[in-house]
Chains A and B, each alone.
Chain A
Amino acid sequence: MKFDDLRQGIESLWGTMSEGWDRLRHTAAGALTRFRPGDKTDLPQREQIDDLLYMPGQHWAMLGGDVYEDEGRLVVRIEAPGLEKDDFDVQVQDGQLVIRGEKRFEHESAEGRWRVLQCAYGSFERRVALPVAVRGDEAQASYRNGVLKVTLPKAEPAKPRKVDVQVS
């Protein structure tokens, strides 16, 4: 591999996930997720991998998430590309939304060499703290464009509150 590639490869790894690195750092807390490959993951053989920066066992990805709300519900969105909807296990547990999934390496690799292998594969778990109590048994989830969206009705829909603040 040319030296040029090595240098650019280092830059493209965790050091700089974007040009706006400062901006990203503040918003990425919690998004960095560890993937653990298992027997079913089906990664290519080590001999077929030429990516000098690839480290077996070190699979990380940014699974960015958002939490939105209105009076009656919370909507949690997590980026998780390359899965099937049956690969997810979603639960509400102790005020957290726990999302578990398994991403298998399903690319053809019978012949050929992996020059770059940066995407993460294996099983992962992402937890998102929920700001209010929700009715977990009424939750609904959908998976589209690689984004898992979970809608959670709030346990106590917020009533508009009027608070009088005394100014002395």
Chain B
Amino acid sequence: MNTLTQVKTTPPARPEPALLPPVDVLEDSTGITLYADLPGVPKDKLHLRVEGDQLAIEADLGLPVPEGLTAAHAEVSLARYRRTFTLSKELNADKVSAELSQGVLRVRIPKADHAQPRKINVQVA
């Protein structure tokens, strides 16, 4: 069963191309945990949005050219990360939590109450 599908990023309103960060997605009985590599992103430049059933991760790299220095060799020239996911109805999009540490974003999306495994007590008459 699949609860997270990646949406093909159609040409966005903003013409600027963006980097697609690699992700790891773990699914267990209580929800989904997603890890994304976003090096160079400070917390204030990270934007996590849930719109309907879409989870969007967007971040600006915070690696400005240090003052007074010139670039001898620059590979990190695309300044934005972007990736979008479609959340299945099993997931509770209102309870998304996230943390960012050393460039790794961890997003936790629990399954909706109705989809959580529920233990049923069986009474023995």
Contacts and interface: CB of A to CB of B under 8 A. Distances in A.
Contacts of B115: none
A77 B40 CA distance: 10
B76 A81 contact: no
Given A5-B2, A81-B37, A81-B104, A107 B24 contact: yes
A46 to B, nearest CB: 15
Interface residues of B, number: 46
B101 to A, nearest CB: 8
A16 B5 contact: no
A113 to B, nearest CB: 6
Contact of B39 (A4, A80, A116): A80
Given A77-B63, A146-B38, A64 B27 contact: no
Given A112-B26, A115-B26, A74 B39 contact: no
Nearest to A44: B26
B6 A79 contact: no
Interface string A1-29: 11011001101100011111001100111
Scoring B4, B6, B19, B22 by chain A CB atoms within 10 A of each residue's CB, the highest score goes to B22
B8 A8 contact: yes
A8 B6 contact: yes
Interface stretch (A65-73, A133-141, A159-167): A65-73
Scoring A11, A70, A108, A115 by chain B CB atoms within 10 A of each residue's CB, the highest score goes to A115
Interface residues of A, number: 58
Interface in B1-54: 2, 4-9, 11, 17-20, 22-29, 33, 35, 37-42
B65 interface: yes
A99 interface: no
Contacts of B6: 5, 8-9, 12
Interface of B is mostly: loop
A80 B38 CA distance: 9
A70 B72 CA distance: 10
A75 B24 contact: no
Contact of B5 (A2, A107, A108): A2
A109 interface: yes
Contacts of A109: 26
Contact of A146 (B4, B5, B102): B102
A119 B37 contact: yes
A90 interface: no
A81 B74 contact: no
Interface of B: 2, 4-9, 11, 17-20, 22-29, 33, 35, 37-42, 62-63, 65-66, 68-78, 102-104
